[in-house]
Structure 1
């Protein structure tokens, strides 16, 4: 039954997901359109190098001219993950708490479906939608780079795309779990966005604030954008951490959902 719920939710959300994919594709394409100007202008590289080290590290601008460095600084270190997070949190909030607020959840559970199957179907729907957006980012980034004669390592680009997608999965799963456990979409989105902001501030300020350095690895942003996959060795450990974190959060929501009175 969960597979039918998955197909139904994907069918209901496909138009919204495709519009988001189109928006991401346009952003990535426009970003690559400016790359020849950056590559061919030494003043831009010199300006980036004159920035304080902590600022360059916070915004991923250690290398702003190479294809990988440009992609990381302009897309993967901030704007792409934030965009994907917004999509994931909205979708996670809507998944169950949104249906409950609008009175549809009771009708769903009146069918021959368990609460566990419903939660599984909605969690997988969120995951599949994020995979679609992550693949969009990967494909359009690769095509855009080739159109401006920029060489990107395929494995490193794939890892960067996977990490920002799994960051969105972890935070979208948190919104889904809070909404499932409380039945309150406003609370789910508010708490998740508050956590996201706090986690990002810890990550971005830790290079400058000594007291935050020990907390850096607690932030999910550290595992997604703490180190650029376009530099150094390719390491998939961080991606597994984010995948596991999101999955565990969803599983932790199961007991609360099973014993909660719906619609109260």
Structure 2
């Protein structure tokens, strides 16, 4: 009889544990859905803005190439540091032109900074304005809040990539400069790990700082600072230091111009993202919100 009771209690505890995990998972998804829904409008606005920029670049390209200017000679006259920073290889093809003008600048630098900035307010804004206590009283585990809010960043990342991919594909076809669909798809797909890594940097700052504005400025500084670090240490004895920068692992020029996809770099970025989110989750579970 005693043995039966032991097994019964053990099974009951196991069942309760599974129920708690299931409830935690449901709350995580609920947080992700709610936060993701709040980001749809901003994601569409950002996508439209970038699509207009894309249309401008694609529309200008035929007139630039017909001008007779030796663009590659112009590239060679640029400082090596500039060529290294923005992955400038050629401007005489639509792939090389868009890689420099759209992807290396707007995607790698501006969007990287933007998503880090956006993620930096995910937790800090609720803490600063005393909304976090209300959310945690539902009750929702702290870990579910952090991970759910981070997963919501997939909404703007995926929406922007899908819309601009379509804009580039259609635009280049209309100006009779079709771009390789597979390479273009790879450039956008492989930007997802990069943008997630930038977002994870912002998330880590968001859980460690109480004021969203400070976390956002810190996120901008960290992502841009890492970009500069990789740029200034390139081709030097300190090049290994640049391995800390997410930009080291995503190169749209290599994808679009040379067809080199850099899957190892994508795996490194995903690993870094998981690590940063795990650290942010662990930190927030233990911090005092008083």
Quick check: 1:34 aligned with 2:60? yes
The residue aligned with 1:76 is 103
1:216 to 225, 229, 242: 242
Q: Is the 8 A contact 1:134 1:161 kept in 2?
A: yes
Q: Is the 8 A contact 1:176 1:250 kept in 2?
A: yes
Say which SS state the counterpart of residue 9 (structure 1) adopts: helix
Quick check: 1:135 aligned with 2:162? yes
1:100 to 95, 115, 127: 127
Quick check: 1:233 aligned with 2:260? yes
2:91 to 64, 69, 74: 64
Which of 1 and 2 has greater Rg?
2
Quick check: 1:177 aligned with 2:177? no
Give the deviation of 1:75 after TM superposition: 1.0
Give the deviation of 1:54 after TM superposition: 4.4
Say which SS state the counterpart of residue 261 (structure 1) adopts: coil
Deviations 1:226-252 (A, max 9, x none): 862121533322122212212210111
RMSD (Å), alpha carbons: 2.1
Q: TM-score, normalised by structure 1?
A: 0.90
Deviations 1:191-210 (A, max 9, x none): 322221221112222346x2
Give the deviation of 1:189 after TM superposition: 2.0
The residue aligned with 1:252 is 279
Query: Could you list the runs of 4 or more consecutive aligned residues of structure 1 that deviate by over 4 angstroms after TM superposition?
Result: none
Unaligned runs of 5+ in 2: 1-26
Give the deviation of 1:53 after TM superposition: 4.5
Aligned residues: 262
Q: Is the 8 A contact 1:163 1:223 kept in 2?
A: no
For 1:129 and 1:5, locate their aligned partners in 2 and report how far apart those are by CA, in whole Å: 16
Alignment of 1:103-114 (within 5 A): 103-114=130-141
Q: TM-score, normalised by structure 2?
A: 0.82
Q: Is the 8 A contact 1:5 1:122 kept in 2?
A: yes
